[in-house]
Homo-oligomer: A and B are copies of this chain.
Amino acid sequence: MKEERISPKVIERLTKYLRCLENLPQEDYISSEELAEKMGFTAAQVRKDLSNFGEFGIRGKGYQVRNLYADIEKILGVHKTNNVIIVGMGRLGNALFSEPEFTKESFNIVGIFDNSENKIGKEINGIKIRDIKELEHFINRKEDVNIAIITVPKSVAQELTDYLVKCGIKAILNFAPIKLNVPKNVVVENIDLYAKLQELNYWKEKVLK
């Protein structure tokens, strides 16, 4: 593995390969050309992306779907279950928690948190909403909670982030429309729903012209 300087675009494409492979017959082989065509990339792109992580596939035969799927899962660390907490149990937090499609087997939601007295103590699907103040204690007791999904208002997102980092969280999936400042050893991915709508709107205006 030479995984030295992988671009975020490569990792994004890996998740797309997974999406594509999961819908194919698992015993079959697929060539980089076929995979590329399904994805709308070039075969060279597919080979280059995968070559970042080692040797895959058999010359003349291509990649076995099941093996390539398993290999990419391993690269992403989703061949195992990763513990996750959700902070902010408004409608969006609730939706993310309640729909197994979003987290699947690879992510295990071990705690849900809020700061509102109306919500703390209530149960959703058998899990109690905890007071965010208990987080440090919760993480110290539980092993291996590194990932937080935060669905809180923009106005409190940075303050919450500072607290999460202090508690030992290493990865944050942020839905608040704000660029979070974190130390170098903490990673953030953003999902900005409004920004996506804006992008879509630009392309819509183009096709309507």
Chain A interface (Cβ within 8 Å of chain B)? Answer: 8, 11-12, 14-16, 18-20, 75-78, 82, 84, 90-92, 94-96, 98-99, 101-104, 106-107, 146-147, 149, 153-154, 170-173, 177-179, 185-189, 191-208
Contacts and interface: CB of A to CB of B under 8 A. Distances in A.
Given A11-B199, A12-B199, A82-B204, 4 more contacts: A18-B195, A19-B178, A90-B95, A147-B204
30 contacts: A8-B199, A11-B199, A12-B195, A15-B199, A16-B195, A18-B195, A19-B177, A19-B178, A19-B179, A75-B202, A76-B201, A77-B205, A90-B95, A90-B99, A91-B95, A92-B95, A95-B95, A101-B154, A101-B177, A101-B194, A102-B194, A103-B194, A147-B197, A170-B207, A187-B200, A189-B199, A189-B200, A189-B203, A191-B191, A191-B193
Copies of chain A in the complex: 2
Chain A interface main SS type: helix
A76 B202 contact: yes
A209 to B, nearest CB: 10
A146 to B, nearest CB: 6
A77 B146 contact: no
Nearest to A18: B198
Given A91-B91, A189-B196, A193-B191, A201 B98 contact: no
A20 B199 CA distance: 16
A172 B196 CA distance: 11
A138 B102 CA distance: 31
Contacts of A170: 204, 207-208
Given A15-B198, A194-B104, A196-B189, A203 B95 contact: no
Contacts of A207: 170-171, 185-187
Leading 3 A-B pairs by shortest Cβ distance = A91-B95, A171-B204, A15-B195
